[in-house]
Structure 1
């Protein structure tokens, strides 16, 4: 039970970090964003950030990997003869 609770907490922290990064990207380029700005915006500690990521570049790489991991099955399904509206699925994925 405790592991499930921890997973929820970790997921919430990751969402906060991602949301903070997205909000900061609306204001400035990635090169101009610091880890300090991300943790302030996400309202987490520096230690919490570094518990999950080595640095800002690691955060970006893991986000890209995660999106591609979830996006490629949708592409595969769209071109595998299944009746999937690829563009609708892609837009829903990107929205989430």
Structure 2
């Protein structure tokens, strides 16, 4: 995955996930390792009609996520990516 964009409830990928993608998980850094923040079954994520690069799910959150991992049905990781998190405006939009 090349710099997927992560925002609350939405993950925008550069290319569609392969058919073997079963789960996608967001991880935060803890000490020298990582802890899982969220887990989404790819089949349960709503894909925008005609655009399989946008995954929507209520469990997808930004909360200190520094790495995304995609696993197949047997639990083997086969993709890893570092998300880009768009900055939210700090003041009112005029």
TM-score, with structure 2 as normaliser: 0.22
More RCO (CA 8 Å, sep 6+) = 2
| Greater percentage in strand | 2
| Greater percentage in helix | 1
Structure with bigger gyration radius: 1
TM-score, with structure 1 as normaliser: 0.22
